[in-house]
Amino acid sequence: MRKVFVIGLDCLDYYIVENLNCKEFLQKVHKKLETIINPEVGEPSTEEIWISIITGVPPEVHKVRAGQAKRWKSKTLQKFREVLIKIEKKNRSVERLISKLRPGKFFEKLGFEKTGIVDNLPVKTIFDIVKPSIAYSIPVYNEDLNKYWELIGWRSRDYALKHREIIAKRAREYFLKEVEETLKLIKNDWILFFVHYQYIDDISHMYYDEPEIIEQTYYEVEEIIKNIKNNLPKDTVVLIVSDHGINDIGLHAPYSFFSINVKIDEKYLPKSVLDLKDFIINLIYEKIPIED
Ligand SMILES: [Zn+2]
């Protein structure tokens, strides 16, 4: 068996990586993968795609949908929320009022909970198949994005753009803490280690119009990834994957990034995010040859 370490970098953009020539991200082989677009929002959704990556099935099958982290467990409350969103979308002053009053906070104080983590997925994940495995901070699977957004102060896109300096600072601190935790977890026993970091997504949404900050962020994350790689056991196969890219107005772009630190024949490489689960399993069980 081969040890495989998967680094999920949310929103790592194929074209930005190529343009900046980030060697630590490009690795030996890199390619653009097809990703999943949510037909209602017209964009790829982080919550849907990471679950598709670890299960190998589309959202129609695993049932996690865009906005999952903010859904209420209570069906009545969720219905109420959907009605409010519809009104909000048509009326900006209602939107402003709701973002000030934050009625959700009130219901949370009463003990109502959101579905940031789904613990009863209807399909098996790669972690049910490969053992021992470590899954760290994977959205909806074991990372509650709603709680994360609360922590860094991300209320909405408009709000985040207005307060981007402080939100970016908090997101970076959170990312560095997660990296520290990753370095500790690496020392445990595993054949598959899968980690997800949200940081690049936050920065991309807030600074899509400031290429210098994007560049700085990519180079900094690259150094951190290099350090993680240096701490891995010898001969670990390292994959870097993203769920989607970013476009020039700060929205999710419909392609994802993939790279691997060993040479593999093109015919074995994944074409879509949905192929990653089987690709990783086949790598671990040595069903895919590695070229010298
Ligand atoms: Zn995003």
Do 102 and 212 sit in the same domain of this protein? no
Q: Please give the tally of structural domains in the chain.
A: 2
Residues 76 and 141 in one domain: no
137 in the same domain as 249: yes
Percent of residues in the chain assigned helix, strand, coil, to nearest 5: 50, 15, 35
Report the separation in Å between the CA atom of 284 and the middle of ligand 1, taken as the mean of its atom positions.
30
* Residues 211-243: tens digit of each pLDDT: 999 999 999 999 999 999 999 999 999 999 999
CA 278 to CA 291: how far, in whole Å? Answer: 19
Query: What's CA 61's distance to the chain center, in Å?
Result: 19
The answer to whether residue 151 scores a pLDDT higher than 90 is yes
Tokens standing for residue 207:
């600074």
- Reported as a single tens digit per residue, the pLDDT across 11-33 is 999 999 999 999 999 999 999 99
Cα–ligand 1 centroid distance for 47 (angstroms): 10
pLDDT of residue 157: 83
Residue 262, pLDDT > 90, answer yes
A 10 A CB-CB count for 194 gives: 27
For 136-164, what is the mean pLDDT? 93
Whether 147 and 179 share a structural domain: yes
Tell me, what's the pLDDT at 101? 86
Whole-prediction pTM = 0.93
What distance in angstroms lies between residue 46's CA and the mean position of ligand 1's atoms? 7
> 124 near 56, Cβ under 8 Å?
no
Q: Which residues have beta carbons under 5 A from ligand 1 (an ion)?
A: 201
219 CA to centre of ligand 1 in angstroms: 19
Other Cβ atoms within 10 Å of 59 Cβ, number: 19
Distance from the first to the final alpha carbon of the chain: 18
Cα of 95 vs centre of ligand 1, distance in Å, is 21
Per the rule left: phi > 0, alpha: psi between -120 and 50, beta: everything else, 270 is: beta
Question: How far away, in angstroms, is 246 Cα from ligand 1 center?
Answer: 8
Q: Indicate if the pLDDT at residue 102 is higher than 90.
A: no
**15 and 91 co-located in one domain:** no
Q: Which residues partner with 256 through β-bridges?
A: 33
Length of the chain: 292
Q: Is residue 215 part of a domain?
A: yes
- pLDDT of 94 strictly over 90: no
Ligand 1 centroid to residue 249 C-alpha, Å: 12
Query: Mean pLDDT, to the nearest integer, of 72-93?
Result: 88
Give 272: exposed, middle or buried? Use CB within 10 Å, 0-12, 13-18, 19+.
middle
Say how many Å lie between the CA of residue 252 and the centre of ligand 1.
Answer: 6
Å from CA of 291 to ligand 1 middle? 35
Distance 16 CA to ligand 1 centre (A): 16
CA of 25 to the centre of ligand 1 (A): 19
Report the separation in Å between the CA atom of 256 and the middle of ligand 1, taken as the mean of its atom positions. Answer: 13
Q: By the 8 A CB rule, do 237 and 261 touch?
A: yes
Same domain, 77 and 104: yes
Structure confidence by residue, pLDDT tens digits, 174-186: 999 999 999 999 9
On whether both 262 and 143 belong to a single domain, the answer is: yes
What's the gap in Å between 159 CA and the centre of ligand 1? 15
How far apart, in whole angstroms, are the C-alpha atoms of residue 208 and residue 123?
36
Instruction: Calculate how far, in angstroms, residue 198's C-alpha sits from the geometric centre of ligand 1.
Output: 8
**Structural domain boundaries, residue 100:** 72-113
Write down which residue in 49, 80, 113 finishes a domain.
Answer: 113
* In the predicted structure, residue 118 carries a pLDDT above the cut 90: yes
Domain match, 9 and 98 both: no
